[in-house]
Amino acid sequence: MCDPVSLTIAATAVTAAGTLTGGMAKAGQQRYAAQVADQRAQIASDQAKDAITQGQLADRDLQRKTAQQMGAQRVAAAAGGIDPGWGSAAQASGDIAMLGQDALDQQRHDRANQVKGFDVQGWGSRSEAAANRAAANNSMLSAVFDTAGTVLGGAQKIAGMPKVPEDSFAGADTSKPLRKIKWT
């Protein structure tokens, strides 16, 4: 059977190792969560860039459609013998341009809101990643301090144990029990 000092040392070592390993595992999970949040931030950034590109293409398409409508209105007026740059024909052309610009402005506003939403998602994900990295650092620091506390607590327990004089077992035959116990 082991002496109490050896048992206390072993228990302290196992507890300290468990505390440190647990802290390392928790920090690893938090670092992984930070990597996932970084990836979500990158995806949001890519989505914002894509929305801008898609918006530019949609703007160009709307401007072409507006120009086609204005051209068709001028052709129809000229085919009817009306001067497209004068009177109601000119007014109709101006109305088409105004409606086209209103639609373009609304489209750009909607796209800007979409991009802003992706940007907010990205900012949130980057903040989450930073918080997870800080938590991982704190977990490791806490594990180190908890491990140190466990070791110091074990040392304090050992220091408080009664001392056994070195010569207590001098000359004793340790291969035989000190006394026999009779069970009746």
Residue 74: what residue type?
R
Tens of pLDDT, residues 92-118: 999 999 999 999 999 999 999 999 999
Judged against a pLDDT cut of 90, whether residue 29 lies above it is answered with yes
Using 50, 70 and 90 to split pLDDT, how confident is the model at 89? Answer: confident
Judged against a pLDDT cut of 70, whether residue 169 lies above it is answered with no
Tens of pLDDT, residues 9-28: 999 999 999 999 999 999 99
* d(C-alpha 172, C-alpha 156), whole Å: 31
Judged against a pLDDT cut of 70, whether residue 183 lies above it is answered with no
Please give the structure tokens belonging to residue 173: 């035959």
Tens of pLDDT, residues 35-49: 999 999 999 999 999
pLDDT at 95: 94
Domain ranges (residues) in the chain: 4-161
pLDDT at 46: 97
Contact 47, 118 (CB under 8 A): yes
pTM: 0.70
Q: Averaged over 70-85, what is the pLDDT?
A: 89
Judged against a pLDDT cut of 60, whether residue 167 lies above it is answered with no
Using 50, 70 and 90 to split pLDDT, how confident is the model at 178? Answer: low
State the virtual CA torsion across 14, 20, 22, 27 in degrees, nearest 10.
Answer: -170
Distances (CA, A) of 23 to 20, 45, 130, 137: 5, 33, 18, 10
Tens of pLDDT, residues 121-144: 999 999 999 999 999 999 999 999
